[in-house]
Each structure stands twice: as structure tokens, then as C-alpha cells.
Amino acid sequence: MAYDLEKRLVVGVASSAVFDLSESDSIFRRDGEEKYRNYQEENLHNPLPMGIAFPFVKRLLSLNDLSLDKANPLVEVVLLSRNDPDTGLRVMKTISHYGLDITRAIFMQGKSPYEYIPAFNIALFLSAHKPDVDAAINLGHPAGQVLDSTFQEDEKDNTLRIAFDFDGVLAGDESEAVMQSSGLDGFHEHETRNVMQPHNPGPLQKFLVEMSKIQKIEEEYKSTHPEYKNRLRISIVTARNAPSHERALRTLKSWNVMANDAFFLGGVEKGKILSVLKPHIFFDDQSGHLRSASAVAPSVHIPFGITNQQKVDLPKLTP
């Protein structure tokens, strides 16, 4: 019987998102593919350093211990790599070294595998390679570019804190377009007038809904294990403020989702909030927010909607 990915959360990751490939990439750029292949073979048993999204991926996979059937995990992480199978072997050995339960992989020499996102029912694809992420978003796939960010792996911390911007990430960019064309007053008027109308889903809506399902499973588990402490915490960190906050909250409710925290900042710098919140990953569509965010938390750019129609300058992670 075929392994069914439809009933679980699936996240696709490029090796550039999870591991630090800066040294490998510099050799490829300086010396070419043959020297790169030799370097990977010589260092086959030397694990790659942890990368920006490593803490997120590790904690995400750890939630599988909530499944009553270990053969039926809640979460699958699939490696999507531009390497060929031979040079990708070091990545797979690194995955094993860190004890990450990642067994499924695609290796496509010099070509991005983002077109396979639907085939694996992937709700989120992470890569440091901007062209791949842009192409995936343009095809309507849920993708984000991992930026050069501050991160720290705390082995004693088993929680998973995920923070989302709202417009252009969880919701579509309809309201952001109003903001761009009509200003703040027009935006608030539009949101008040449409307060009972849920927003259209944005790129990461499905990912949020799937994470919310795992939160509900946590609550069920807690009912029979009173000593259990919830590990998954979801936060909304948005530039919205009153009165536009209500439509956002009603939209989440229409998706059967409830965030643990909601920050309606109305122009307060997001980096100041994130430095206290300390998420393991933060998703935003706007470059201005991400510059301050990436200085304090692992940050991901979602290049979706009207705010990304102009060229932006963001902290770049080596692909």
C-alpha cells in the first residue's frame, strides 16, 4: 500500500535552509564542480554545521512523539536538493549525525525540485536560494527564503515557537493593496466595512491550519497525560492595529485556528517584539520588517503579493 502524505503535515527543505553550506558553496564558486565534488567526498563523514532553520526542523520533527502510531507520524520533512545523489550523500549523513528523522529526499543535479512540491503535498518549502523560492511562489506554491539571521540552538529547550506576519503570509494581499493605494485611513475603512468577510488564504495558510491541528492533538494528549506541558506556540506579529485587528481574528476563527499570541503593533518595530518572543522561525513578506527581525530571530521572506513587486534588498544566506 502506498505511503499516504495527505493526512500529515509535510515540509520540504533545501539543504541550504537546514545546514550551513557557506564553505561548500565558496569552493563551488571558486574552483568549480569537480573540486566541489572532491571536497564533498573528502569530507563525507564530517557533518555540516547547523543552519538557520535547523532548530525549527528539529523541533517540528520532535512533535511526532504525540502520534499514538509511530508508523503514522504527524510530520514529514522531505529534503529537496539541487545536488546530485553522490554529492548529496554528505547531506544525508549529516541528517543521520544529528538524528533528524528525514528519510525522503529528491536530488536533482543543478536543477531545483520545487515543481515536485504538490506531488509531496508540501505545505511549506524552505530554501536559501531566492530564485527557487520566487519561482515556487509564482507557481502558487507555499515557499519562503531563509535569510541570514541570528539563531541559537538550545538543546534543553523542546518548545517550538512559530511567528507569522498576517497579510501576504497567512492571508492574501487584497488589504495590503488597499493600503498601498488608499493609505492607512482607507485601509482601516476597508477592513471595518469587510469585517465579517474572511480574508482569502495566503501562501502559508495551509501550513498554519496543519500546525493548528497538531496543537489540538497536544490538547488531546494532555487530557490523558496531565503532566504534559504544551510545546507548540503560534504567534501572529502584524503591523495591523485597531480597528483592523478584528477582521484578522475573525479570519483565523473561520479557518478553525486560534493563535496563542497576537501582536497588533501599528508601526512598532517587529524586531523589538521578536527579541522578547524569541521564535524559532518568523515569516514575513516585507523587507523592512525582516531587516530588524533577522537580527534577533531566524527569519523567512515570503516573496508574495504587491509588496514584492519591487526589488528588495534582504540579508542573503549562501544557497
Q: What is the pLDDT of residues 105-124, one digit of tens each?
A: 999 988 888 999 999 999 99
Lowest model confidence (mean pLDDT) among 2-6, 78-82, 172-176, 256-260: 2-6
* pLDDT value of residue 39: 87
Q: Each residue of 282-316: pLDDT tens digit?
A: 999 998 899 999 999 999 999 998 888 855 555 66
Strand partners, 235: 163, 261
pTM: 0.93
Active-site residues, by number, are 165
- Residue that has been written with the C-alpha cell 515543481 in this structure: 115
Burial of 292 (0-12, 13-18, 19+ CB in 10 A): middle
Q: Each residue of 135-153: pLDDT tens digit?
A: 999 999 999 999 999 888 8
User: What does the DSSP assignment read for 45-75?
Assistant: TSPPPB-TTHHHHHHHHHGGGG-SSTTS-SE
Please tell me what DSSP assigns to residue 261: E
> Which ranges in the chain are annotated with CATH 3.40.50.1000?
9-146, 160-308
For the chain, give the longest Cα–Cα distance: 63
d(CA 199, CA 167) in angstroms, rounded, equals 9
Asked whether the predicted pLDDT for residue 3 surpasses 90, the reply is no
Fold classified for 160-308: Rossmann fold (3.40.50)
Q: How many residues does the chain have?
A: 319
Asked whether the predicted pLDDT for residue 57 surpasses 90, the reply is yes
- The rounded mean pLDDT for the chain is 92
Asked whether the predicted pLDDT for residue 275 surpasses 70, the reply is yes
Burial of 216 (0-12, 13-18, 19+ CB in 10 A): exposed
Residues of the chain with pLDDT > 70: what percent?
97
Which CA distances in Å does 10 have to 107, 205, 210? 18, 14, 9
Fold classified for 9-146: Rossmann fold (3.40.50)
- Residue 317's pLDDT band (cuts 50, 70, 90): low
d(CA 72, CA 108) in angstroms, rounded, equals 28
Phi-psi region of 266 (alpha: psi -120 to 50; beta: other; left: phi over 0): left
